Every structure is written in structure tokens, then in C-alpha cells.
């Protein structure tokens, strides 16, 4: 495509437009990583038992939609909850 490969430096974090953009992309209800991590096991247990924790924890839901690592943690917790615990050491 481009004959001249010019690498433009990424926007400095102090760029007010970049900061505004990041702000607009952040859900104001976003609970943040810390709070999400604290409540994640409760959230996962509610989900696993057929409840709708997103109604009770809209901030967590907003964060899980926006934060990849946290949603991955939730999936891991859910898998751990819904999976039957091994009855013994499984050697293959």
C-alpha cells in the first residue's frame, strides 16, 4: 500500500482530545478493576445459579463489558463453579 512507511508516534497521554475520547468510551457506571475483582466471585456465583447479577451490579456489568482481563477472570470463575470438582487425582 504505502510506499513510504512512516511510523507516527502514538498520541501522548497528555493530549486533551485523547483523554476526552477515553473518558467518553468509559461507562460512567464502570466499577473499576478493584471493585470488580472484589465482587467477582459473588457475581459469578449469582450467574451460575441462574440469577441476573447485572441488575444488582450494573457497575460490574459495565466494567466486565469494557475490561477484557476482568471478563476473562469471570469466565474462569464460572468454569470453576459450574465444573464438577474432581473426585480424585486424575492421572493420565
From 70, 73, 74, 77, residue interacting with Zn ion (rule: CB under 5 A): 70
Residue 44 dihedral angles phi and psi, to the nearest 5°: -65, -40
- Which value, to the nearest 10 degrees, does the dihedral of the CA atoms of residues 49, 62, 66, 41 take? -30
Tell me whether residue 33 or residue 48 sits nearer to Zn ion (CB atom): 33
Binding mask 15-54 for Zn ion (x = CB under 5 A): ------------------x---------------------
| Distance of alpha carbon 71 from alpha carbon 28, whole angstroms | 18
Minimum CB separation of residue 84 from Zn ion in Å reads 29
**How many residues form the binding site for Zn ion (CB under 5 A)?**
3
Q: Are 58 and 29 in contact (CB under 8 A)?
A: yes
Tell me which long-range contacts 16-22 makes (C-beta under 8 A, separation of at least 24): none
Site stretch for Zn ion (CB under 5 A), options 3-11, 18-26, 50-58, 65-73: 65-73
Which residues make up the interface to Zn ion (CB under 5 A)?
33, 67, 70
Amino acid at each position: 500500500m504505502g510506499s513510504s512507511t512512516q511510523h507516527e508516534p502514538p498520541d501522548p497521554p497528555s493530549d486533551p482530545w485523547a483523554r476526552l475520547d477515553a473518558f467518553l468510551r468509559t461507562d460512567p457506571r464502570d466499577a473499576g478493576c478493584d471493585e470488580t475483582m472484589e465482587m467477582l466471585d459473588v457475581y459469578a456465583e449469582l450467574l451460575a445459579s441462574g440469577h441476573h447479577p447485572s441488575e444488582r451490579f450494573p457497575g460490574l456489568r459495565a466494567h466486565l463489558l469494557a475490561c477484557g482481563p476482568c471478563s476473562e477472570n469471570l469466565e474462569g470463575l464460572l468454569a470453576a463453579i459450574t465444573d464438577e470438582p474432581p473426585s480424585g487425582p486424575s492421572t493420565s
